[in-house]
């Protein structure tokens, strides 16, 4: 009798890696974790919710997971469009990919579920424990 061994962590990809993966797995949606280096709740998600076995299993099985620094100063290209860093009047800046993906709702952590065709399925905002996060992804109990 065999058993399946699941990964002990989420297989996070860069946006560029995810675009390659989308061609291999056209039925999977992207799950993008938008974070910033200064975000304490983002770090809490990484050490708590994203370490939960059910969350790891669900994300790795059903999504192409992407971790994206919303304030990256590097240009990123996705689906043929280049997104640039934009400095805000308050001195902080944002990468326009995060701005457009989150529809201007710049609160972190934030998660976007994007269909393979580039359309947005849902946006989740804020720190969430396992049950609330899975519920937000519409995982039946």
Q: How far apart are CA 3 and CA 90, in angstroms?
A: 53
Listed by start position, the domains of the chain span 15-136
Both structure tokens of 37? 């280096």
Closest CA to 10 of 31, 29, 24: 31
Q: How far apart are CA 25 and CA 108, in angstroms?
A: 28
Tens digits of residue pLDDT in 43-71: 999 999 999 999 999 999 999 999 999 99
Q: CA triplet 133, 135, 136: central angle to 5 degrees?
A: 65
Closest CA to 62 of 134, 5, 2: 134
Q: SS3 of 71, please?
A: coil
Q: SS3 of 95, please?
A: strand
Q: What is the pLDDT of residue 1?
A: 45
Closest CA to 109 of 131, 133, 130, 127: 127
- What would the CATH number be for the domain defined by 15-136? 3.40.30.10
Tens digits of residue pLDDT in 76-116: 999 999 999 998 767 789 999 999 999 998 899 999 999 98
């Amino acid at each position: 009798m065999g058993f399946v061994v699941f990964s002990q962590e989420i297989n996070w990809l860069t946006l560029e890696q995810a675009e390659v993966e989308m061609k291999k797995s056209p039925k999977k949606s992207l799950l993008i974790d938008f974070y910033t280096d200064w975000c304490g709740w983002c770090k809490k998600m990484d050490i708590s919710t994203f370490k939960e076995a059910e969350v790891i299993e669900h994300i790795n099985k059903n999504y192409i997971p992407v971790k994206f620094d919303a304030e990256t100063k590097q240009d990123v290209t996705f689906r043929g469009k280049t997104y640039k860093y934009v400095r805000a009047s308050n001195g902080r800046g944002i990468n326009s990919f995060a701005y457009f993906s989150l529809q201007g709702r710049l609160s972190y952590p934030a998660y976007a579920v994007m269909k393979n065709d580039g359309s947005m399925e849902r946006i989740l905002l804020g720190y969430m424990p396992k049950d609330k996060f899975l519920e937000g992804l519409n995982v039946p109990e």
